[in-house]
Amino acid sequence: MPKMRRSMPARSFDWRRRTFYGTVVDGQAAIPVERLTYGDLTYEVWLVPVIVNGTRFTTAPEPVVVRGGQESPASVTLHARPERGSITGTVVDGASGEGLEAALLVVDLASGAAQTTTAAADVHFMFDDLPVAEHALLARRADGFHLPQRHDLAEASTVETRLRLTRAGTAVLRGVVTFEGEPLPFAQAEVEGLPAAQADPMTGAFALDAVAGEGELSVEVAAAGCYGVRLNTTARDLGEITLALHEDTTVIERGGSRLYVPAQSSITRDGDRMVLQGGVLWVTGAAPSAVTPRR
């Protein structure tokens, strides 16, 4: 009679809290892990900080699953990014293109930390050793030149820009933003080269300072990515401005209420729940009674 093989209990080798190292050569590294598990284990892989051309690069930890009993190596791609960035550029007259001397300010929009410098005419300015984050860049002159810009150093750690400054005027542009006869909250009016003016959420009124006293203005009035209108006008008091709903906006109606979803948002459904990308969550007891899809 043949002998019966005795079944062996399943075993799992757990090597957590161990650190394994591999040398990077030509952008690739093989990290030997001593003795894998019979089951699956998840490891974290990251790049030890490295300095290239004077810039320190790091990576965020990337999880990688090692399958038990798998002979082929698991692979992961890490995306190194610099820890610090810089913004350089010149300041020119928006009409003539001639170089200007101006005072500059850069503000970290996450922390509020700021740096200042002065740009000479036709000479590059530089803000160096900036955190990799979104920054606002502004230039000003005593005679009213100014223009704000935004730069995200997480997308490009080194930014070179040209600030085209527009001479500030002496007039005030006024108006009242409405939609279907009611004041529209969160609306704003903007003229190129000037900071946007926010409308009062209770009345819809706005006032945009320092526009040119004469000539035609191109004015864009918008709200929440759902409504907007562009006006070319010589008036400085626009009166009541009625915004139109963008054609690509989805309108969801229920119980006398309406939810407007701009085109850049997406809707996913999970039973009686509707989730809007961007952090907005709307929960109902049943499916909406009416949905106007985007065209």
Taking the C-alpha atoms of residue 95 and residue 40, their distance in angstroms, rounded to an integer, is 64
SS3 55: strand
User: In degrees, to the nearest 5, what angle opens at C-alpha 85 toward C-alphas 83 and 90?
Assistant: 180
Q: Which of 66-70, 76-80, 122-126, 182-186 has the lowest mean pLDDT?
A: 66-70
Domain range 171-245, CATH architecture: Sandwich (2.60)
Residue range 128-176, pLDDT digits in tens:
888 888 999 999 887 777 777 899 887 778 899 999 887 777 889 999 9
Enumerate the β-bridge partners of residue 175.
Answer: 206
The topology under which CATH files domain 84-167 is Immunoglobulin-like (2.60.40)
Tokens of 2: 């043949």
CB of 224 closer than 8 Å to CB of 259:
no
Tokens of 227: 């409504």
Sheet of 84-93, strand order: 114-119, 102-108, 134-140, 145-152, 158-167, 84-93, 125-131
Taking the C-alpha atoms of residue 278 and residue 79, their distance in angstroms, rounded to an integer, is 25
Q: What type of residue sits at position 134? A: E
pTM value is: 0.44
In this structure, the strands spanning 237-242 and 171-179 are parallel
Domain limits of the chain?
Answer: 9-82, 84-167, 171-245, 250-292
DSSP 8-class letter at 271: T
